[in-house]
Amino acid sequence: MSTWRIARLVAAKDLRIELRSRVVTNQVLPFAALVMVMFAFALDNDTVLTRVAPGLVWLATLFSMLVLVQRAFAVESADGALDALQVAGVRPGGIFLGKSIAMAAQLAVLEVVLLLAAVVLYKVQLAGSGAVLLVTTFVAATTGLAFVGTLYGGLAAGARGRETLLPLLMLPVVAPVLIGATRATEAALGTNGASPSEGWPWIGLLALFAVLFGVGGTLAFGSLIDD
């Protein structure tokens, strides 16, 4: 069976599990909203909040993503399903892409909610002139984050103390996404007087990151999850 067919199968399975369990809806989204509220409490200044809103949105995304990644691999390791997938000879590249697609879909929902929370809580204004840049930023950053999350989730899945190991491994690696996505989002929203043209070079960084981890993950995932 081809890698793409496996990817579609795994993605559909992961999304069906989410639809049935509603972990994102009932746990991850409230957690993300709570993080946004806590930022508002901590900074307690509308001007400052509006200025740093893009960074806070992406920080909240990263924190919430840790929960998503843990969950994505908990369903695989709870009853030995990842082992069973290996024995079944299911192409690891297909598993990687499938889990990345499902994670990207869940991240996209999360990011929309966080952006809306920023509009409500931090008084961020969405400008029509930066709409294309904003959408492109979210697509590129989400793709990169989904690939990294799946790769490091797979790496940590079989490790002892994986709950604490995952943030230690993953957060330093996604720092370029945090920086690039924050700068591009600032440019798209016109934060601190930035213009959309200033955001496009950061899209290059986000796209390069996504390609590197997408290709690397597809090739290396089999070795990572193997005994």
Partner 1 sequence: MTEPVVHLVDVVAVMGGFPVLAGADLTVQRGEIVLLRGPNGAGKTSLLRLCAGLLPIERGEATVLGCDLAVDRTAVRPRVGLLGHANGLYADLSVADNVAFWGATVGATAAEIDASLTRMGLATRLAGVRVSRLSAGQRRRTALACLVVRRAELWLLDEPHAGLDAAGRDELDATLREAASSGATIMVASHELERAGALATRMVEVVGGQTRPVGGA
Using only the alpha carbons of the chain, give its radius of gyration: 18
Residues that bind partner 1 (CB under 8 A): 1, 6, 9, 13, 16-17, 20-21, 75, 78-81, 83-90, 222, 227
As separate numbers, helices (DSSP H) first and strands (DSSP E) second, the chain gives 10, 0
Identity of the residue, 85 or 184, whose beta carbon is nearer to partner 1 in the bound complex: 85
The DSSP 8-state label assigned to residue 26 in this structure reads I
Q: From the CB of 74, what's the least distance to partner 1, in Å?
A: 10
- Of the candidates 143, 166, 141, the one whose C-alpha atom is nearest the C-alpha of residue 153 is 166
Measured CA to CA, the distance from residue 81 to residue 73 in angstroms comes to: 10
- Of the candidates 77, 75, 69, 74, the one whose C-alpha atom is nearest the C-alpha of residue 107 is 69
Measured CA to CA, the distance from residue 158 to residue 227 in angstroms comes to: 8
Q: From the CB of 5, what's the least distance to partner 1, in Å?
A: 9
Identity of the residue, 17 or 127, whose beta carbon is nearer to partner 1 in the bound complex: 17
Q: From the CB of 25, what's the least distance to partner 1, in Å?
A: 13
Q: From the CB of 80, what's the least distance to partner 1, in Å?
A: 3
Identity of the residue, 12 or 42, whose beta carbon is nearer to partner 1 in the bound complex: 12
Measured CA to CA, the distance from residue 88 to residue 66 in angstroms comes to: 28
Q: From the CB of 78, what's the least distance to partner 1, in Å?
A: 6
The answer to whether 221 touches 155, Cβ cutoff 8 Å, is no
Identity of the residue, 44 or 226, whose beta carbon is nearer to partner 1 in the bound complex: 226
Identity of the residue, 44 or 160, whose beta carbon is nearer to partner 1 in the bound complex: 160
